[in-house]
Structure formats: structure tokens, C-alpha cells
A and B are shown apart, each in its own frame.
Chain A
């Protein structure tokens, strides 16, 4: 149960992550804003309530791991990492630039990035490997969080890994499905249906928690539930809205890989409650 203050702080952090996403993709004039915005609350709760890390020791072996398997949401991850103190804020202005630290998709040369991602369908396998390695080396406190897109679930290896996690009883592993119902070419229901999604995961042996992915309280409670589950991995199916928080992106799958124009950026920042422009911080 979050206190009112915690709840407020996590909601503000989600808003801050959204602001960074809009500013970063606008400045870079490339990237995936919609799929980044849908995981703002998930990242806020992960990095500012749930995950154990020390930004000064990003390689500490006993840290929890976060894998952004839907690596195209990198701007949101970078926003969370910068707020967590892993690297200087100035790097956000050089997203995807040849002089910058921040690659288009997450890579391990970036402090705080635990696993390279960007090619869809691979993160859950790596999560299984980390959970197995933690068990082998008696680091039982290490927890592993893997953020998957719902479109990403089209990839076969996700389900190979889903079998593996259940087979090895990897209860330190939490998969989070960002169920924003859109993928590159359109609605997931039209491109490659995944329903009944909860039943699929259940039948694979997972503990399934379904939540509103934009409610920080529900996100936090889902992670609590996962921590209490012994012998089975947990999947949090988080219903979200692609482009959540800014109006121009809602229900616009055609903007999956489109950076905001200056007008869209200014409008979005106003909607998020930030009146100032990006260079005024």
C-alpha cells in the first residue's frame, strides 16, 4: 500500500518521464514516443519504489535487474535512469546522436542498462538466465523485471522463455506486458491476436496479475503480489494506452515511429502540465 505522498511522487515521476520522452524524441526527431509513454507509470514504480539498485555502482552483482525487452521504448527507460542518477541529464539532449551516450535502443555501455535489447522477443530469455545465475550463485535476493510489449508477444522465443521460467520455478522473475493494444502496423487484435492473453500465461504456469498500468497503486501492488508468489514466475498484464498523457498520439498507430513536431511537442508539454519549454530547466 502506497502512502498518499508516495503515490503523488510516483505520479509526478511518471509525468516527468513523459516530459523527457517528448523532449528527447522531438530533439532527436526520431524514436518511438507512443510506446515509451505507455510505460511511464511502470518505470516510475520500478525505479522509484520497487527495484534495488545503487546508481553509483551500476554493475553491483546483487542489484535487481530491469530488462526493457521492448527496447524501442528506450527514451522512457533513459528518462527513468537519468532521474535515478545513472548518468547526467545533458545526455538526454543527445539521444541517438553520434556524440551521445544514448543509443537508439538500450545497450550495456549505458550505465543502468542491464541487458542489450531492441530486437524483440529476446529479453525474457535473458531474464531467465539472470534468475538462474542468481540462484546458482546464492544471490537469492536478486529480482528480475522484464518489460514486454504486447505486439512483441508475436515473437516465438517469448513463449520458449515462458516455458523455461515456469519449468525452473523462477519466482524471482517478473514479466510486465505493456498491453497498449497497438503494434507497428496497427491494432494487435488485427495484426496478430493474442487473446485470451491471461489464460495463455496461466496455461504456461505463470502467476497472472491484471492491472491498469497507469495506476501507480495497482502497479506497486502487482509487484508486491509477485514478491509473495513462491515457486512460480509472475506476469503483470498492464492495460495501458499508447501515447498516454498526450492527446495527439492517442489511437494513432501511424505515429508508432514518428517524432513529435514542435507544435505537437509544445501541446504535449502543456497537457502534461509543464508550461516551460525544454531548454528552461
Chain B
């Protein structure tokens, strides 16, 4: 079943807004496309739009948060993280203010609008900021739980939401979303496929195909790139001995980078990444773009076969 993120985010903001009575939403002239307009309609006194001025929006959010109110700043990932990067770093993260950057339009699944609107560095740059939590949702069913989790977690956080309609993986009422906790979607002993965002679904499809070929893949929805779920990662490394990461993001500094940093230090098993190969994408229909740039179940399957091959008869116990 397919669902869309716009409705999910609008609903999430209203619901979390009813639970957290002093929550403020700041946006920058994208209240319709993020559906934060629904929060505005319900709680007009707690909604601020500063117009097309994202740098100012982050400063305003920081000021509101410094007054003791939790704030969500919502816009497209490109303009929510990359335009006001320094403001987030110096005005929000350094003083550890309670500002949550919740961005839609993360990744090339943005599609037709093209490269200027496709954030493929946002996870890397947010992750590079000390103390910044970084999370991503894998389907519309996770959005409310994810928004609630970042709002309830004290301090600065980034939550990334895709744009394109997605397969529904979760029944909303059944989701428990906690920062630093991965979700195991499929058991397996031969290789672990770790996805975030829309690539989680592709990991599941890849696991199906691998299973038919005699390779049993574990699938993790990593959910938070920072903090990583070290326990789940170490278990995946020691129990399956091979890892493939998958993300709609550039290959530098995102999920793949975070997992690689961890593995090198703790359990250096064979690992491959499915991500953009240090290139910009282009305009096009989301599905066609993801296929053209190798962000597919087939690519994950192929990389899984590579790491399983490399693992060979390696004795994991001797290196981890």
C-alpha cells in the first residue's frame, strides 16, 4: 500500500502539538507543501512563518527555544539544513537549544524539481555537528512516532522525511520510534542490509530476492544515523559478518559513512554502500531517478552478493 508524507507530517504536527502544549512550529513559506498549515489552523498562536528566509527562520526558532519553548522548524531538506547550516550550528546546536529541524524533500526522490531541490548532503552535514541527533523515517506510518520522539528528546535534532509517495511498512499505531534504536524488519544470518528512508523498502525487496538465491539477509531500518544503534550494529556485524547500507543520499558522510566509522573501530567486516556515487542527480520522475542512479533493490542485492563473497570463510570472532 502506498502513502504520502505530506498528509502524514500535517497529521503528526497536529497530534504532537496537542500532546506538547507549548510546542511552536516555525516555517518559511512552505506551510502547504509541508502541511504545517494544519498546525497553523489548529494552533495559530503557536505558528510562525517568516516568509522565504530560512536563515532568519533558524535564528527566530533559536530565540523562541531560548525562551523555554520547544520548536519545530520545518521546510524542505535543502533549505532547512543547507541554506541555514551555520545558523543551525552556531545558534541551535552550540547552545543546545530545543530546536527540531524536521525537513521534507530529503533525497533525489524529490524528482522533477531537480538538483537544486534534492538534498543529498543533509544527513552528512547535520551529523557533523556536535550533539545533533539525526533521524529519518522509512514510511509515512512512522512520521508521527518520529516527530514525537525528536520533540520529546531534549536538545537539537534533525528529522528527514522523503517526498515521493512510499510503501507503507508500518501500521501507525504499532510504531515505537526511539532515537538510537534500530528496527529489525527481517531476520537473517548471511548478510545485513541496513537502510534509512525509502531505501528500507528496497532492502526488504532485495532480501526477498536474495532469499530465493539462498542468501538469508537481515534487514534493519536504522532510523537514527546519530546516535547509531551500536548494539544492533555490532550484533549484525558479528552474527552476519557482512553489511550493505542503503540511503537516498550522497556516498560521503551519511548512513554509510556512520556505519563504516563504527565498523572500522569495532568489527571490520566486509561492507558496501548503496548511495549516490558522488554525483548530482537531475530532474525526472522519482522512481526513474532512483533506478537511474542505482538506488534500487537490485543494486542492494548485487552489493550483498559482493560482501557475502568477500566474507568467504573469514573468522569473524578473530576480528570483532
A→B interface (CB under 8 Å): 61, 107-108, 114-116, 118-119, 122-134, 136-137, 156-157, 160-161, 163-164, 167
Contact = CB atoms under 8 A, between A and B. Distances in A.
Given A122-B59, A136-B24, A161-B59, A116 B64 contact: no
What are the 5 A-B residue pairs with the smallest beta carbon separation, nearest first?
Answer: A129-B63, A125-B59, A133-B67, A160-B56, A126-B63
B87 interface: yes
Contact of B62 (A126, A160, A163): A126
B99 to A, nearest CB: 10
A127 B63 contact: yes
B8 interface: no
Contact of A160 (B50, B86, B95): B50
B308 to A, nearest CB: 48
A197 B70 CA distance: 36
Contact of B60 (A107, A108, A125): A125
B58 interface: yes
A161 B69 contact: no
A128 B67 contact: no
B64 A130 contact: yes
B90 interface: yes
B94 A125 contact: no
Most B CB within 10 A of own CB, among A119, A156, A160, A163: A160
Interface in B55-77: 55-69
A249 to B, nearest CB: 28
5 contacts: A137-B69, A157-B53, A161-B56, A161-B60, A167-B51
Given A107-B95, A119-B91, A133-B63, 4 more contacts: A126-B91, A128-B60, A161-B59, A164-B60
Interface in B12-46: 22, 24, 45-46
Contact of B94 (A107, A123, A133, A156): A107
Interface in B268-300: none
A125 B46 contact: no
Nearest to A146: B63
B48 interface: yes
A129 B61 contact: yes
B86 A119 contact: yes
Contacts of B59: 122-126, 128-129, 157, 161
B60 A129 contact: yes
Contact of B53 (A115, A123, A160): A160
Contacts of A160: 50-51, 53, 55-56
Secondary structure at the A interface, as helix, strand, loop or mixed, is: helix
B94 to A, nearest CB: 5
A156 B55 contact: yes
Contact of A125 (B51, B55, B65, B86): B55
The size class of the interface chain B forms with chain A is 20 to 34
Contacts of B48: 132
A61 B68 contact: yes
Contacts of B46: 136
A157 B55 contact: yes
B56 A157 contact: yes
A133 B64 contact: yes
Contacts of B56: 125, 128, 157, 160-161, 164
Contact of A108 (B22, B55, B63, B95): B95
A125 B95 contact: no
Contacts of A116: 90-91, 94-95
Nearest to A118: B90
A167 B51 CA distance: 10
A164 B53 contact: yes
A245 B265 CA distance: 57
A152 to B, nearest CB: 13
A122 B64 contact: no
B87 A129 contact: no
Contacts of B22: 137
A272 to B, nearest CB: 33
A164 B50 contact: yes
A115 B45 contact: no
Contacts of B55: 125, 156-157, 160
Contact of A129 (B51, B64, B94): B64
Residue from B55, B59, B65, B86 whose CB has the most chain A CB atoms within 10 Å: B59
A68 B55 CA distance: 18
Contacts of A130: 63-64, 66-67
Nearest to A109: B95
A167 B48 CA distance: 11
A119 B90 contact: yes
Nearest to A144: B63
B49 to A, nearest CB: 10
A61 B67 contact: yes
B87 A122 contact: yes
Contacts of A129: 59-67
A22 B61 CA distance: 36
Contacts of B91: 115-116, 119, 122, 125-126
A156 B46 CA distance: 26
Contacts of A167: 51
B62 A125 contact: yes
B247 to A, nearest CB: 30
Interface centre among B50, B66, B67, B95 (most CB of A within 10 A): B67
Contact of A122 (B68, B69, B90): B90
